[in-house]
Amino acid sequence: MVQTASAGSCRVSEGIIGRFTRTVVLENDLLRCTVLVDKGADIYELRYKPRDIDVLWKAPWGLKEIGTIAPTAVNSQVAWLDHYEGGWQEIFPSGGGPTMYQGIELPFHGEVATMPWDYEILAAGGARASVRFTVVTTRTPFRIERTMTLEDGQPAVRFDERLTNEGAVAFDYMWGHHPAYGAPFLGEDCRLDVPARRIIADASQTDPERSWLPDGGDFDWPVILGRDGRRRDLRQIPGPDQRVNNMGYLIDLEDGWYGLTSRRLGFGIGLVWPKEFFSCVWLWQELCGSFGHPWYGRAYVMGVEPWTSWPGQGLGAARANGTARTIGPGASEEISFRAVFYESRAGIRRIHSDGTVETL
């Protein structure tokens, strides 16, 4: 049942972007969050209102709505990138790829990021704004429900998600969130704090001429000896003029959180989650250092992504290294986490599960 708004700053609005893509906007006095309902329930905007800055990257080719261009790609990665507008995707049940599983091809980055979702407004605003988004997959027997909630006076979005296997057989899966950060928020003044112990380099997804990471291997986080023989502190984000690309997996997390702080702007964005579920973080950096399709040296973007599993070569690779999760027939799993804005010019020590941030 749709609830009406009461006193307070929270509100929900519905609209259209582009020609026909439905949007749902949740906002309060501190943040604004725009969701593309018909395109994966992507989070297209995550704006910190005190600075009037959207922290999410926007692709230079713009939003290509599903159905507005002829599907000519025979490769599912190219097809996915044809419609990649930046922002924040939910990726399930496979990351990277494509891959074969139970006799069916799972496409690049799974199913749900290119499907239309349904939604229901649970609280229209006032002291609280809340919307439930739902999708049912076609190649696999899953249902995902994502409830996003804002509260009055809080610079945070709470995510409550429920995964259900509606089939009669057990299924393996990968599940991740793919927020991509960009300018004007992202820059060489930014610092990334993550309580990880190690980083696994993925040489298959980087250009050796422009990557700081050696060709594969396992390194202590955050300071590594780069392929050029120089010590590199991976907490410090390279600027666009350095033309760097890196891809790695942060593992052995002491806790489930990260904070990305713009010391120039004096604020940051962080995520906090149960590390027993999202047990690793993918660090994806296309910092004007990738010259192939579709970047061509023009993309300054960084993803810091909580995941259940790694590497980014699809579910088959995650099953091989033992990081894929399994859900039984008829079973459900639930996960709650938060995205939170904070004020800092140095970085953070920790984000607590309730969204409280300890700054440096």
CATH number at residue 47: 2.70.98.10
The pLDDT assigned to 4 comes to: 47
| pLDDT surpassing 80 at residue 337 | yes
The answer for residues whose C-beta is within 8 angstroms of residue 54's C-beta and 6 or more apart is 45, 46, 47, 185
Q: Is the pLDDT of residue 109 over 80?
A: yes
pLDDT digits (tens, 9 = 90+) for 200-252: 999 887 788 899 998 888 999 999 998 888 999 999 999 999 999 999 999 99
Residues 261-314: tens digit of each pLDDT: 999 999 999 999 999 999 999 999 999 999 999 999 999 999 999 999 999 999
Residue 93: both structure tokens together: 């049940």
Tell me, yes or no, whether 264 lies in a domain: yes
Residue 179 lies in a domain: yes
Distance CA 95, CA 106 (A): 9
Single pTM value for the model: 0.96
Q: How many Cβ atoms sit within 10 Å of the Cβ of residue 269?
A: 24
Which pLDDT does position 74 carry in this prediction? 81
- For range 86-111, the mean pLDDT: 96
pLDDT score at 93: 98
DSSP-based three-state secondary structure for 74: coil
Q: Per-residue pLDDT tens for 43-59?
A: 999 999 999 999 999 99
5 located within any domain: no
Among all chains, which residue has been given the structure tokens 């047990």? 279
Query: Do 123 and 80 meet the contact criterion of CB atoms below 8 Å apart?
Result: no
Number of separate domains in the chain? 1
CA distance 45 to 179: 10
For residue 3, the model assigns a pLDDT of: 46
pLDDT 10s digits, 153-177: 999 999 999 999 999 999 999 999 9
Ramachandran sector of residue 126 (left: φ over 0; alpha: ψ -120 to 50; beta: rest): left
d(CA 342, CA 303): 19
**Rg (alpha carbons) of the chain, rounded to whole number:** 19
- Residues 337, 350, 346, 197: is their CA dihedral positive or negative? negative
Contact 278, 308 (CB under 8 A): yes
| Containing structural domain, residue 281 | 10-359
The answer to whether position 3 is within a domain reads: no
- Please report the pLDDT score of residue 237 as a whole number: 98
Give the whole-angstrom CA distance, residue 173 versus residue 4.
38
- State the average pLDDT over residues 313-342: 98
Residues 3-38 pLDDT 10s: 444 579 999 999 999 999 999 999 999 999 999 999
Asked whether residue 4 is assigned to any structural domain, the reply reads no
Contacts of residue 288, defined as CB under 8 A and 6 or more positions apart, other chains included, come to 240, 241, 242, 243, 244, 297, 298, 299, 300
Measured distance CA(95)–CA(196) in Å, rounded: 21
